[in-house]
Amino acid sequence: LSDCLACDNCMTSEEGARVFQQNQKELFRVLNLNKKCDTSKHKVLAVSICPQSLPYFAAKFNLSVNDAAKRLCGFLKSLGVHYVFDTTIAADFSILESQREFVQRYQRRNQEEHALPMFASACPG
């Protein structure tokens, strides 16, 4: 769990398994395999960066948040990462979908016994 952001949003052991699959050792193993094989056999590497982590990098290296994002993206691509995504848009979609589901459940509250309450959570991981 050395790569964990310690956001305290994990709810189950399933998230722990996902964090284990996305660790630094596995990333470097795939990067090294990609360097050794034909580009047609490369594994595509995508990294997602949550916006909450960028101020840490900015403060640590005395940069603006925008510059920190650009440099982190450039660094990851220089390692061999194919795509770097900002998870902000995914968070926005998650909020919109939660809103849509709540409205539907609220409208069905008199017809369905279990329409409410509705539980939701969000994790940048």
pLDDT digits (tens, 9 = 90+) for 6-58: 555 554 555 555 555 667 788 888 888 888 877 777 788 888 888 878 888 89
> Phi and psi of 83, rounded to 5°?
-135, 140
Average pLDDT over residues 64-76: 93
**In the structure encoding, which two tokens stand for residue 46, read together?**
């995508």
Average pLDDT over residues 94-105: 89
Average pLDDT over residues 77-102: 87
Residue 125 has pLDDT above 80, yes or no: no
3-state secondary structure of 50: coil
In this prediction, residue 77 carries a pLDDT of 93
Integer Cα distance of 81 and 13 in angstroms: 28
DSSP collapsed to 3 states, the chain: CCCCCCCCCCCCHHHHHHHHHCCHHHHHHHHHHHHHCCHHHCCCCEEEECCCCHHHHHHHCCCCHHHHHHHHHHHHHHHCCCEEEECHHHHHHHHHHHHHHHHHHHHHCCCCCCCCCCCCCCCCC
In this prediction, residue 2 carries a pLDDT of 52
In this prediction, residue 71 carries a pLDDT of 94
Average pLDDT over residues 53-65: 90
In this prediction, residue 6 carries a pLDDT of 55
Confidence of residue 115 (pLDDT cuts 50, 70, 90): confident
